């Protein structure tokens, strides 16, 4: 049943609120005028559920809010709603995300621009609510766009970007925003809430065009195709993913113009890298303690910096090559792990090394596994990471090692 | 230059989906096992894309025999061999063309047969009658009639009427270098301990009628139905295909190739009760301006359910598909030339168009219903 939406106070004025990452996402759902969202509780994603339910109950948001019987149905519901032309939102965490895996795979295959968050959480077993990126990363080969946020503000901004980019006809792919459990989903920060008018300028109405599933537009979606058609379909999805790169750049430029935020590059956030010799590379909230360490180490005369990845898919290969080839050594910090992978490293580590493979002059890339299961990255660990990165400089083979940081023996 | 390969032989069995699946499998497996007796190796497989099979829709299974594993490799990891030495069609109506699923179009039965290869057809008709419904040959081959009608059963049952043994005997006649009659017999004896079954292989060998076919022989009367598959730049994004609009039929998949029997209608006796129209599993009836129900032969799969549910005796009669040259709807014919149509109906069906005239029983010699579940007299019964 549709609720009566009250006129928002100060609706034409940008406001500030103290809110968690989950609440910031709920605000984005309201601002984007989402038609259908589907929910099923799992921590830390359920923070969005609660925040959105509160907005609806308070008459501030009108969205079809469907509580599913499990994550698989949850993702199927929005996939189908999207096919009939609804702007949708969905999300989950950890093993709940995995329970939806079939629906997640087919959503990308069908080019339906579902926007989701993955409140990053360690995969059970053992039970741990804290953040670890293996849940989001498990879909890295399926055709989802995967941005990662550092702050609650960025969570909201990336959500608005997600609908804009995902629904763009050149892309038409689903987007899953990675939000670190607890540190981002459940920590309240000051967030600037843009005006509805500005958001409306940024986000056009969702229009599937002749792909709309409707009796007036008789189409069949997802027939059995076998080997006769499948490679062509994969090729189409690949082209869409490739185009997403430029569409993100366009959207980022427009976003900056309208809202004055977003940084220089849509893909990389560089911190104190101008004269840096040794940098760390990673994504999500681990950038925060690392920046503290950088300021401390800089005072001691170390030329250190940070490059934070904002979009893991599409992987901004050229931007990364251009950025990282400037340094003597790069420490890639993975808040994930890939058992049995090359050099027993994390996912980011191996992707970054692969991106730099053909360079004549490569920095040493050292791997670090840190903060698994939401373990805090403390300052001594950050120092350790920089020291090991610096020690590896000049010896490219020393990067064939991944260091576990802060693990008890 | 001969197209014959000295190192391997490829045999395909074209059959009616589901009804003859087990039959095709038994033939293909037996070819490999019989050839194994003289030291050859081989592989047997079904065309993966045919599964899940549809009632009556043409499907294929294959047997490849080679002198050793190295030579066999060229025939492995394939869905469908591009060229075969022998095709075995276990229902003679399959010579009207093979349309498997959508976008494959309708292909001549001999399409993959190499020059001077063999087309074995189980049939009670003469070689020339079968040839008259086979597409015009582009290269010479030999048509071989294996005695016996089409053997139909279901998915879970097998009609053990020795069709497989007769086919193996006939194969031994045309490819003795690969499948020897004594090996076929020894295999069957091992498997069945039944001398009657062994005798059926001998009967297939002795009774097979060979009819050399020259390029240019056959009929040009069948519809050409071929499609270009779209590329990634021309396909609709999002795994979308155009659906049929109301009243429109699928241009890429005609379905008539699934028929062994087709229904013919006596419009004189039709009481317009709607039963055929209601119960047909495919949308194959159109309502005429006068309220009759006419079969759309482009879309009818010959399941026989309309004839089964029709309450009027001999109003819908299932007739051997090999007796027809076209897929035209017939109601207009009846409207324009009532007597001419009724004469046509009587000629095709063998029953009188006048219900007052008694029709002799057993009008349909040798042919069961294409759908065993629609045929209450079939011993093998229903399936699914």
Query: What phi and psi, each to the nearest 5 degrees, are found at residue B302?
Result: 70, 30
User: Over 80: is that where the pLDDT of B284 sits?
Assistant: yes
Q: Are B313 and B187 in the same domain?
A: no
Helix (H) or strand (E) holding A249: helix A226-259
Overall domain count for chain B: 2
**B229 lies within 8 A of chain A by CB:** yes
Give CA–CA dist B267/B353, Å, rounded.
Answer: 9
| Mutation site for B-interface testing, chosen from A85, A167, A223 by largest number of B Cβ within 10 Å | A223
Q: Confirm or reject contact between B242 and chain A (CB < 8 A).
A: yes
Q: Which chain B residues have a beta carbon less than 8 Å from that of A211?
A: 236-238, 240
Q: Residue B295 is part of which domain span?
A: 256-374
Which SS3 state, helix, strand or coil, does residue B71 take? helix
What is the length of chain A?
409
Q: Name the average pLDDT for chain B.
A: 91
Whether residue B97 is contained in a domain is answered as: yes
Q: Is residue B172 part of a domain?
A: yes
Q: State which H helix or E strand residue A273 sits in.
A: none
| B273 shares a domain with B167 | no
Any domain includes B222 = no
Question: Cβ–Cβ contacts within 10 Å for residue A256, how many?
Answer: 14
A229/B229 Cβ within 8 A: yes
Q: Is A404 on the interface with B (CB under 8 A)?
A: no
Same domain? B126 vs B264: no
Report which DSSP code applies to B222.
S
Looking at residues B27-50, what average pLDDT do you find?
96
Examine the domain organization and report whether B187 and B38 are in the same domain: yes
The CATH number that applies at residue B342 is: 3.30.70
Tell me which residue of A169, A133, A157, A162 sits closest to A145, measured CA to CA. Answer: A162
Q: Is residue B219 part of a domain?
A: no
Interface membership of B228 toward A (CB under 8 Å): no
Could you tell me if residue B239 is inside a domain?
no
Asked if residue B229 belongs to a domain, the reply is no
Backbone angles phi, psi at B54, to 5 degrees: -110, 145
Domain boundary among B152, B187, B213: B213
CA A20, chain centre distance (Å): 16
Q: How confident is the model at residue B177 (pLDDT cuts 50, 70, 90)?
A: very high
ipTM of the complex: 0.86
Q: Are strands B8-16 and B113-123 parallel, antiparallel or unpaired?
A: unpaired
- Position B361 confidence tier, pLDDT thresholds 50, 70, 90: low
CATH code for the domain in which residue B186 is found: 3.40.920.10
Q: Which domains does chain A have, with CATH numbers?
A: 15-259 (3.40.50.970), 268-404 (3.40.50.920)
Q: Does residue B226 form part of some domain?
A: no
Is residue B279 located within the same domain as residue B186? no
In a shared domain, residues B172 and B266: no
Residue B62 placed within a domain: yes
Cβ burial of B12 (10 Å; 0-12, 13-18, 19+) is buried
pLDDT, tens digit, 9 for 90 and up, residues B55-70: 999 999 999 999 999 9
Same domain, B30 and B151: yes
User: Same structural domain for residues B311 and B200?
Assistant: no
Nearest to A294 by CA among A314, A318, A310, A274: A274
Q: What is the pLDDT along chain A (409 residues), one digit of tens a residue?
A: 455 555 544 457 999 999 999 999 999 999 999 999 999 999 999 999 999 999 999 999 999 999 999 999 999 999 999 999 999 999 999 999 999 999 999 999 999 999 999 999 999 999 999 999 999 999 999 999 999 999 999 999 999 999 999 999 999 999 999 999 999 999 999 999 999 999 999 999 999 999 999 999 999 999 888 888 899 999 999 999 999 999 999 999 999 999 999 999 999 999 999 999 999 999 999 999 999 999 999 999 999 999 999 999 999 999 999 999 999 999 999 999 999 999 999 999 999 999 999 999 999 999 999 999 999 999 999 999 999 999 999 999 999 999 999 999 9
Do B261 and B368 share a structural domain?
yes
- Whether B98 has a pLDDT exceeding 70, the answer reads yes
**Chain B residues inside the 8 Å CB shell of A220:** 240-243
Could you say which of B213, B232, B266 is where a domain stops?
B213
Q: In terms of domains, do B43 and B191 share one? A: yes
**Phi, psi (rounded to 5 degrees) for A82:** -65, -40
Residues B209 and B267 in one domain: no
**Residue B61 sits in the same domain as residue B183:** yes
- Among B182, B213, B244, which residue terminates a domain? B213
Nearest CA in chain A to B51: A226
A211 lies within 8 A of chain B by CB: yes
CB-based contact A25:A184 (threshold 8 Å): no
């Amino acid at each position: 049943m549709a609720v009566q939406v009250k006129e928002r106070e100060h609706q034409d004025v940008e406001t500030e609120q103290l809110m968690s990452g989950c609440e910031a996402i709920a605000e984005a759902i309201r601002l984007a005028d989402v038609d259908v969202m589907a929910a099923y509780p799992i921590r830390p994603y359920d923070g969005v559920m609660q925040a959105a339910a509160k907005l609806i109950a308070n008459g501030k948001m009108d969205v079809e809010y469907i509580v599913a019987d499990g994550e698989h149905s949850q993702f199927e519901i929005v996939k189908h709603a999207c096919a009939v032309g609804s702007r949708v939102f969905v999300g989950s965490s950890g093993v709940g995300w995995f329970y939806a895996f079939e629906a997640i795979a087919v959503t990308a295959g069908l080019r339906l621009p579902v926007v989701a968050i993955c409140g990053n959480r360690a995969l059970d077993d053992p039970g741990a609510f804290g953040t670890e990126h293996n849940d989001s990363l498990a879909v890295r080969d399926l055709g989802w766009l995967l941005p990662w946020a550092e702050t609650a503000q960025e969570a909201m901004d990336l959500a608005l970007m997600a609908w804009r980019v995902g629904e763009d006809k050149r892309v038409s792919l689903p987007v899953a925003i990675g939000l670190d459990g607890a540190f981002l989903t459940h920590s309240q920060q000051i967030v600037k809430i843009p005006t509805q008018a500005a958001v409306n300028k940024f986000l056009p109405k969702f229009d599937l065009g002749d792909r709309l599933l409707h009796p007036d537009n008789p189409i069949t979606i997802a027939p059995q195709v076998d080997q006769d058609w499948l490679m062509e379909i994969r090729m189409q999805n690949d082209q869409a993913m490739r185009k997403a790169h430029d569409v993100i750049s366009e959207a980022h430029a427009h976003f900056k113009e309208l809202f004055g935020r977003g940084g220089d590059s849509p893909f990389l956030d560089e911190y104190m890298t101008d004269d840096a010799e040794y940098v760390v590379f990673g994504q999500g909230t681990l950038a925060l303690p690392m920046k503290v360490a950088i300021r401390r180490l800089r005072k001691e005369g170390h030329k250190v910096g940070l490059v934070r990845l904002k979009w893991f898919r599409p992987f901004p290969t050229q931007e990364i090559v251009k950025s990282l080839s400037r340094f003597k050594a790069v420490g890639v910090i993975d808040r994930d792990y890939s058992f049995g992978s090359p050099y027993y490293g994390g996912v980011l580590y191996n992707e970054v090394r692969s991106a730099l493979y053909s360079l004549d002059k490569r920095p040493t890339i050292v791997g670090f596994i840190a903060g698994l299961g939401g373990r805090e990255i403390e300052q001594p660990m950050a120092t350790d990471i920089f020291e090991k990165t610096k020690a590896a400089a000049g010896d490219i083979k020393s990067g064939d090692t991944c260091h576990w940081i802060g693990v008890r023996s | 230059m001969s197209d014959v390969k000295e190192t391997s032989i490829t045999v395909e069995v074209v059959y009616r989906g589901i009804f003859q699946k087990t039959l095709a499998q038994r033939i293909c497996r037996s070819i490999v096992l019989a050839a194994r007796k003289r030291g050859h190796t081989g592989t047997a497989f079904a065309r993966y894309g045919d599964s899940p099979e549809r009632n009556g829709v043409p499907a294929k299974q294959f047997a490849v025999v080679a002198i050793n594993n190295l030579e066999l490799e060229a025939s492995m990891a394939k869905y469908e061999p591009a060229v075969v030495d022998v095709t075995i069609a276990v229902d003679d109506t399959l010579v009207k063309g093979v349309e498997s699923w959508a976008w494959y179009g309708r292909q001549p039965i001999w399409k993959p047969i190499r020059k001077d290869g063999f087309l074995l057809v189980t049939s009670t008709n003469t070689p020339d009658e079968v040839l008259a419904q086979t597409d015009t040959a582009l290269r010479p081959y030999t048509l071989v009639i294996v005695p016996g009608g089409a053997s139909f059963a279901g998915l879970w049952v097998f009609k053990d009427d020795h069709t497989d043994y007769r086919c193996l005997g006939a194969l031994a006649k045309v490819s003795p270098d690969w499948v020897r009659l004594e090996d076929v017999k020894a295999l069957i004896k091992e498997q069945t301990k039944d001398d009657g079954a062994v005798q059926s292989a001998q009967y297939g060998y002795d009774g097979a009628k060979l009819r050399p076919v020259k390029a240019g022989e056959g009929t040009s009367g069948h519809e050409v139905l071929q499609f270009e598959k779209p590329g990634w730049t021309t396909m609709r994004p999002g795994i979308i295909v155009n659906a049929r609009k109301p009243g429109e039929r699928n241009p890429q998949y005609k379905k008539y190739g699934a028929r062994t029997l087709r229904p013919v209608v006596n419009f004189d006796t039709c009481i317009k009760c709607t039963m055929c129209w209601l119960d047909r599993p495919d949308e194959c009836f159109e309502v005429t301006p006068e309220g009759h129900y006419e079969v759309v032969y482009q879309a009818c799969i010959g399941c026989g359910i309309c004839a089964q549910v029709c309450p009027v005796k001999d109003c819908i009669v299932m007739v051997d598909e090999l007796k027809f040259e076209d897929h035209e709807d017939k109601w207009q014919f009846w409207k324009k030339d009532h007597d001419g149509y009724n004469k046509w109906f009587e000629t095709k069906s063998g029953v009188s168009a006048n219900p007052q005239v008694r029709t002799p029983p057993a009008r349909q010699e040798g042919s069961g219903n294409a759908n065993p579940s629609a045929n209450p007299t079939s011993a093998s019964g229903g399936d699914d």
